[in-house]
Chains A and B, each alone.
Chain A
Amino acid sequence: DVKVTQSSRYLVKRTGEKVFLECVQDMDHENMFWYRQDPGLGLRLIYFSYDVKMKEKGDIPEGYSVSREKKERFSLILESASTNQTSMYLCASQFKGWSETQYFGPGTRLLVL
């Protein structure tokens, strides 16, 4: 079974802090994604990566950056957390075919005070 893990289930941070969310997958998938999920807005893609050191902006990249130094690990960075970044963050991985199933981690619920 594919396993996607996220570093924290719940996180509380202060405005202005730098926040790191980590995602690790164990299936040697090429593609990895970061989404945020907010009530009434569904899932919105922040960034994705199709290979080590490669990254592409999604629909809402502002205020975020990412890092993919190893194939199994994809990190989302909030450079200076703001209250409007309070959300549920979901990581997913996918075999290289773009039409393939995405496998999701359990999510990180981030509260920025």
Chain B
Amino acid sequence: SQQGEEDPQALSIQEGENATMNCSYKTSINNLQWYRQNSGRGLVHLILIRSNEREKHSGRLRVTLDTSKKSSSLLITASRAADTASYFCATDSGANSKLTFGKGITLSVRP
């Protein structure tokens, strides 16, 4: 069952621009994680934000969490061609619950 839903499904931007990706979910969560997947490879963890946090930074990544709106956004600043990948949000909804992944956003960064 899908908990997180990413938006948009696909995003194409020019190198140097910022990329904003959104994730909405339905039930309350313990934390929300963002992962990245290069074509044909496994997923790589990017950042985790807990339900009591509102914003988190890691290098060029900025994640926000709005639990009242049940939504999160991932901002990649000054994008590079190497950021081209699929991005997934994953939510953890309760004790002993598993991560539930969204369907992903395909980001293309044009050189």
Q: Which residues of A contact B (CB under 8 A)?
A: 4, 33, 35, 40-43, 45, 48, 58-59, 88, 90, 92, 98-99, 101-107, 109
Pick the contact of B97 from A42, A98, A103, A105 — CB < 8 Å? Answer: A98
Q: Can you list 19 A-B contacts with CB-CB less than 8 angstroms, sorted by A residue number?
A: A33-B98, A40-B103, A42-B88, A42-B102, A42-B104, A43-B88, A48-B98, A58-B98, A59-B1, A90-B42, A92-B42, A98-B95, A101-B33, A101-B45, A101-B48, A102-B99, A104-B35, A104-B42, A107-B42
A99 and B43 CA atoms in complex are apart in Å by 17
Instruction: Tally inter-chain residue pairs, CB-CB below 8 A.
Output: 51
A interface footprint on B15-51 (CB within 8 Å = 1, 0 otherwise): 0000000000000001101010000111111001010
How many of chain B's residues have a CB under 8 angstroms from any CB in A? 26
Asked if B96 CB lies within 8 Å of chain A CBs, one says yes
- B residues at A contact (CB < 8 Å): 1-2, 30-31, 33, 35, 40-45, 48, 50, 88, 90, 92, 95-99, 101-104
Given A42-B103, A42-B104, verify A98-B42 contact (CB < 8 Å).
no
**Interface of chain A: mostly helix, strand, loop or mixed:** strand
Q: Which of chain A's residues has its CB closest to B45's CB?
A: A101
* Of A41, A45, A59, A104, the contact of B43 (CB 8 Å cutoff): A104
Q: Which chain A residues border B35 with CB–CB below 8 Å?
A: 104
Find chain A residues with CB under 8 A from B99 CB.
102
- Bound-state Cα–Cα, A101 to B90, Å: 10
B43 close to A98 (CB less than 8 A): no
Q: Are B45 and A102 in contact (CB under 8 A)?
A: yes
